[in-house]
Amino acid sequence: MATQSSEQDLQEQMKALRSDFSELTKTMKKLSEDYVNEGQSRLRQTADQARQQARDTADQAREQARNAAYQAQEGVENHPFSSVAVAFGIGLLIGKILDR
C-alpha cells in the first residue's frame, strides 16, 4: 500500500512538473517574443531618426548650394567684366596644367 501511494505521489509530482515545465516554456517564449519586438521597435526608431537626419542634411546642402549659386550669379551680374577676366584666367591656368 505504501508503495502504491509513493508511486501515485511520484506520478502526481511528475504531472505537476510537466505542467510547470509547460508554463515555463510558454513564459520563456513570450519573453523572447517581447524582447524581439522591442528590438525591432528600437531598430525602426533608429532607422527613422537616421532617415530624418539624412533628409535634414540634404535639405541644408541644397539650401547652401542655392545660396552659393545665387551669390555667384549676383557677383557676375554686378561685376561682369571682372567675372569674364577671372573665368579667362582660370581657363588659361587649367589649359597650362593640362598641357603638361
pLDDT at 2: 58
Per-residue model confidence as pLDDT tens digits over 47-78: 999 999 999 999 999 999 999 999 989 988 89
0.75 exceeded by the pTM? no
* Cell numbers describing residue 22: 509547460
Phi, psi for residue 29 in degrees, rounded to 5: -60, -45
Residue 1, pLDDT above cutoff 60: no
Q: Is the pLDDT of residue 19 over 90?
A: yes
Q: Which three cell numbers stand for residue 32?
A: 523572447
Question: How much is the mean pLDDT over the chain?
Answer: 92
